[in-house]
Amino acid sequence: MKSTPIYLLDDEPELVALLADVAAAEGLSPRGYTAAARLFEDVSAFEPGAILVLDLHMPDMDGIEVMRRLAELKDSPALILVSGTHSGVLHAAQTLGEEHRLEILAALKKPVAVNEFRGLLRAYADTGGKGRWAAGCEVGSGLTLAELDRAILEDQLVLYFQPQCAIADARVTGAEALVRWRHPHQGLVLPDGFVPLAERNGRIGSLTHWVIGQVVRQHRAWRDAGLETCLSVNISASDITSLTLPEQLAALLADNRLDPNGLVLELTETALMGELVTSLDILTRMRLKGLGLSIDDFGTGYSSLSQLHRAPFSELKIDRSFVAHMIEDPEARSIVKTCILLGHELDMRVVAEGVEDRATWDLLAELGCDLAQGYFIARPMPAEAFPTWVEGWGL
């Protein structure tokens, strides 16, 4: 069998030689270059599954320019970025590569740790060299709009609930409702596999309507059973275009004798980008009626501080990409810290999502974060499991 080619592009010949040795020992075919121009002269098409180790800082053509050229090719190699510069630069380059739809296996800081590099090559070999984009495309594939319509009508959708806890005393304060699709052939499909389909095809309104109806019913049932929790639901951009939505929601809650304070609507920064005047009108009236409003995945979108200031949010949810790395990554930690300060300055409750371990919980407590949500507390669970979980919960 032909072995996987790995191209090594770095202006330091010693590093090229060292990494080539490691790659060869792993059964790959290394090809070293110290200048980008030479690489592009030699290679006009990369073999499927090829890897390129790319130094960002090189005198002739820098790594950013190389990525731009790779993005134009039909088959681009999977990339391992290396750089001796500030880790912020490395991170920005990684994001840029992903924007170009290049597959970035890792971003390594120099001096490159040989063990880490070897581990990466092994992990890549384990995926059969197919990489992440290939895997990502398979999610929810083959799901059709007709099936989705049927799913909404025939109650194939189901809500899972993920608890949220106050960090100060570990009390359960509420849960976020997360939709799943019990597909007759594909099993349980996660929202990333069908929510975008619904959003692209004008079905999100009926999906949200279904979700809110279920949440309100569940809320009533739990209240009746003596379980006092807040519930959060996710809504999309086009949900905040109907001017009568606040009235409809208020009426639904009143019919079910529920306090609007117990329902939080989560929307992402990107959802706010559309018709700002209409959405501000709707969001403001929702808050006036007492509903909670949360800005979800905060830090990943493009909202400006003035937008945040104008929209009447009561809660800020820090995106899990920052929270999950705050222990080992000082920049992620600074972002989390700043979000907590910002949220509190603007009089918002701050929730950290993606809390996966005790160390993260403890650090969030130290930083004064209000609520936590994540696998450390519990994974999303079916409604039936929630009351028992609450009974058994303790830190």
Residues within the interface to ligand C2E (CB under 6 A)? 162, 178-179, 190-192, 195, 211, 234-236, 266, 296-297, 320, 353-356, 373-375, 380
User: Smaller CB distance to ligand C2E: residue 117 or 361?
Assistant: 361
In angstroms, give the least distance from the CB of 281 to ligand C2E: 21
Q: Which is closer to ligand C2E, CB of 29 or CB of 241?
A: 241
Nearer to Mg ion, 10 or 353 (CB): 353
CA–CA gap between residue 95 and residue 338 (Å, rounded) = 21
Residue closer to ligand C2E by CB (options 83, 373) is 373
355, 381, 384, 385: which is closest to 367 by C-alpha?
355
Distance CA 346, CA 325 (A): 25
Q: From the list ligand C2E, Mg ion, none, which binds 51 (C-beta under 5 to 8 Å, kind-based)? A: none
Q: How far is the CB of 192 from ligand C2E (least distance, A)?
A: 6
Q: Which does 380 bind (CB under 5 to 8 A by kind): ligand C2E, Mg ion, none?
A: ligand C2E
Q: Which of 60, 51, 61, 58 is nearest to 27 (CA)?
A: 51
- Closest by Cα among 228, 154, 240 to 199: 240
Contact status: 208 vs Mg ion (CB under 5 A): no
State the binding string over 329-368 for Mg ion (x if CB under 5 A, else -).
------------------------x---------------
CB of 124 to ligand C2E, least distance (A): 21
Q: Tell me which stretch binds Mg ion (CB under 5 A): 29-37, 101-109, 209-217, 297-305.
A: 297-305
Rounded CA-CA distance 232/262 in Å is: 8
Give every strand in the sheet of 5-9, ordered side by side.
29-33, 5-9, 51-55, 78-83, 104-109
Instruction: Closer to ligand C2E by CB, 329 or 356: give it.
Output: 356
What minimum distance in Å lies between the beta carbon of 177 and ligand C2E? 6
Site track for Mg ion across 172-201, x = CB under 5 A: ------------------------------
**Which structure tokens are listed for 365?**
């407590």
Residue with Cβ nearer ligand C2E (296 or 315) = 296
- Match 């032909």 to its residue by tokens: 2
State the binding partner of 163 from Mg ion, ligand C2E, none, CB within 5 to 8 A by kind: none
Residue 32 tokens, joined = 């070293």
The angle, 0 to 180 degrees and rounded to 10, between the axes of the packed helices 245-255 and 204-224 is 30
Name the binder of 203 from Mg ion, ligand C2E, none, CB < 5-8 A by kind.
none
| Out of 34, 164, 234, 279, the residue judged to bind Mg ion by CB under 5 A | 234
What is 248-270 written as a DSSP string?
HHHHHHHHTT--GGGEEEEEETG
- Among candidate residues 265, 271, 269, the one with its CA nearest the CA of residue 290: 265
Q: How far apart are CA 282 and CA 371, in angstroms?
A: 26
Out of 55, 103, 297, 315, the residue judged to bind Mg ion by CB under 5 A: 297
- Select from ligand C2E, Mg ion, none the partner in contact with residue 54, using the beta carbon and a kind-dependent cut-off of 5 to 8 Å: none
| 8 A C-beta contact, residue 42 and residue 67 | no
**For residues 89 and 237, which CB has a smaller minimum distance to ligand C2E in the complex?**
237
Q: Which of ligand C2E, Mg ion, none is residue 162 near (CB under 5 to 8 Å by kind)?
A: ligand C2E
Element (H, E) at 160: strand 157-166
Quote the least distance from Cβ 319 to Mg ion, whole Å: 6
**Contact (CB, 8 A) for 102 and 70:** yes
Q: Which residues of 23-54 are buried (b: 16+ CB within 10 A; e: fewer)?
A: beebebebbbbbebeebbeebeebeebbbbbb
Q: Is 269 in the site for Mg ion (CB under 5 A)?
A: no
User: Which residue's Cβ has the minimum distance to ligand C2E?
Assistant: 374
Residue numbers at the binding site for Mg ion (CB under 5 A): 234, 266, 296-297, 353
